[in-house]
Amino acid sequence: MRRIRIFDTTLRDGEQSPGASLNVSEKVVIAKQLDKLGVDIIEAGFPRTSQGDFEAVKLIAQEVRRPVICGLARTRDEDIDAAGQALESAENKRIHVFIATSALHMDKKLKMTPDEVIATAIRGVRRARRYTDDVEFSPEDCSRTDMDFMCRVCEAAIDAGATTVNIPDTVGYAVPQEIRQRISYLREKVPNISRAVISIHCHNDLGLAVANSLAAMEAGCDQIECTINGLGERAGNASLEEVVMAIWLRHENYMAETGINTREIWTTSRLVSDLTGIAVQRNKAIVGDNAFAHEAGIHQHGVISDRKTYEIILADDVGWKGEQLVIGKHSGKHVIEQTLKSRGYALNKDQLLEVTNRVKEAADRQKAITEEDVIAFANDILTTLTRDEQLVRLCELSVMTGNRFTPSATIKLAVGDREVLGTGTGIGPVDAAAHALQSIIHKELGPHLELKEYGLKAVTGGTDALAHAHIRFADDEGNSFRGEAINGDVILASVEAMVQGANRAVNFQKRKTPSEQGQQQTGER
Ligand SMILES: [Zn+2]
Highest mean pLDDT among 57-61, 307-311, 480-484, 517-521: 57-61
Are 308 and 278 within 8 A, CB to CB?
Answer: no
CA of 136 to the centre of ligand 1 (A): 14
pLDDT of the residue at 71: 98
Q: Calculate the average pLDDT of the chain.
A: 90
CA of 160 to the centre of ligand 1 (A): 23
pLDDT of the residue at 294: 59
CA of 232 to the centre of ligand 1 (A): 7
Query: What mean pLDDT is predicted for residues 461-467?
Result: 76
CA of 415 to the centre of ligand 1 (A): 39
pTM (2 d.p.): 0.86
pLDDT of the residue at 512: 67
Of 58-62, 71-75, 107-111, 292-296, which range is least confident? 292-296
CA of 229 to the centre of ligand 1 (A): 14
DSSP string covering 374-432, please? HHHHHHHHHHPPPGGG--EEEEEEEEE--SSS--EEEEEEEETTEEEEEEEE-SSHHHH
CA of 212 to the centre of ligand 1 (A): 14
CA of 79 to the centre of ligand 1 (A): 17
CA of 96 to the centre of ligand 1 (A): 12
CA of 185 to the centre of ligand 1 (A): 22
CA of 239 to the centre of ligand 1 (A): 12
Quick one: pLDDT band at residue 324, thresholds 50, 70, 90?
low
Instruction: Report which of residues 341 and 303 the model is more confident about.
Output: 341
pLDDT of the residue at 363: 79
3-state secondary structure of 271: helix
CA of 453 to the centre of ligand 1 (A): 26
CA of 16 to the centre of ligand 1 (A): 9
CA of 270 to the centre of ligand 1 (A): 22
Cα separation, 192 vs 157, whole angstroms:
10
CA of 140 to the centre of ligand 1 (A): 9
Q: Where are the alpha helices (DSSP H) in 161-306?
A: 176-189, 209-218, 240-249, 251-254, 265-276, 300-305
Quick one: pLDDT band at residue 361, thresholds 50, 70, 90?
confident
Quick one: pLDDT band at residue 325, thresholds 50, 70, 90?
low
Interval 213-266: pLDDT, tens? 999 999 999 999 999 999 999 999 999 999 999 999 999 999 999 999 999 999
CA of 320 to the centre of ligand 1 (A): 28
CA of 158 to the centre of ligand 1 (A): 21
Query: What mean pLDDT is predicted for residues 485-514?
Result: 86
Query: What mean pLDDT is predicted for residues 138-163?
Result: 98
pLDDT of the residue at 322: 63
CA of 129 to the centre of ligand 1 (A): 23
pLDDT of the residue at 204: 98
CA of 237 to the centre of ligand 1 (A): 7
Are 419 and 395 within 8 A, CB to CB?
Answer: yes
Q: Is the pLDDT at 273 greater than 50, yes or no?
A: yes
CA dihedral 180, 202, 84, 157 (to 10 degrees): 30
Instruction: Report which of residues 297 and 5 the model is more confident about.
Output: 5
Q: Is the pLDDT at 427 greater than 70, yes or no?
A: yes
pLDDT of the residue at 295: 53
CA of 74 to the centre of ligand 1 (A): 13
Residue 483 sits at the vertex; the CA angle it makes with 280 and 390, to the nearest 5 degrees, is 145
Quick one: pLDDT band at residue 517, thresholds 50, 70, 90?
very low
CA of 21 to the centre of ligand 1 (A): 16
Q: Is the pLDDT at 514 greater than 60, yes or no?
A: no
CA of 142 to the centre of ligand 1 (A): 11
CA of 449 to the centre of ligand 1 (A): 29
Q: Is the pLDDT at 2 greater than 70, yes or no?
A: yes
CA of 474 to the centre of ligand 1 (A): 24
CA of 218 to the centre of ligand 1 (A): 21
CA of 43 to the centre of ligand 1 (A): 11
Highest mean pLDDT among 8-22, 35-49, 275-289: 35-49
Q: Is the pLDDT at 516 greater than 80, yes or no?
A: no
Interval 336-345: pLDDT, tens? 888 899 889 9
CA of 524 to the centre of ligand 1 (A): 6
CA of 139 to the centre of ligand 1 (A): 11
pLDDT of the residue at 330: 67
Nearest one of 319, 259, 258 to 286, comparing CA atoms: 319
CA of 205 to the centre of ligand 1 (A): 11
Interval 365-413: pLDDT, tens? 766 778 888 888 898 888 888 888 888 999 999 999 988 889 999 999 9
CA of 191 to the centre of ligand 1 (A): 27
CA of 168 to the centre of ligand 1 (A): 7
pLDDT of the residue at 203: 98
Query: What mean pLDDT is predicted for residues 498-520?
Result: 72
CA of 240 to the centre of ligand 1 (A): 14
pLDDT of the residue at 57: 98
Cα separation, 31 vs 287, whole angstroms:
19
CA of 337 to the centre of ligand 1 (A): 35
CA of 434 to the centre of ligand 1 (A): 36
Percentage above 70 pLDDT, the chain: 92
CA of 13 to the centre of ligand 1 (A): 5
Q: Is the pLDDT at 519 greater than 50, yes or no?
A: no
User: How many other β-carbons are positioned within 10 Å of the β-carbon of residue 359?
Assistant: 22
Cα separation, 77 vs 481, whole angstroms:
32
Of 127-141, 330-344, 497-511, which range is least confident? 330-344
pLDDT of the residue at 479: 84
DSSP string covering 299-360, please? THHHHHH-GGGT-SS-GGGGT---SPPEEPTT--HHHHHHHHHHTT----HHHHHHHHHHHH
Instruction: Report which of residues 41 and 455 the model is more confident about.
Output: 41
Query: What mean pLDDT is predicted for residues 23-27?
Result: 92
CA of 310 to the centre of ligand 1 (A): 35
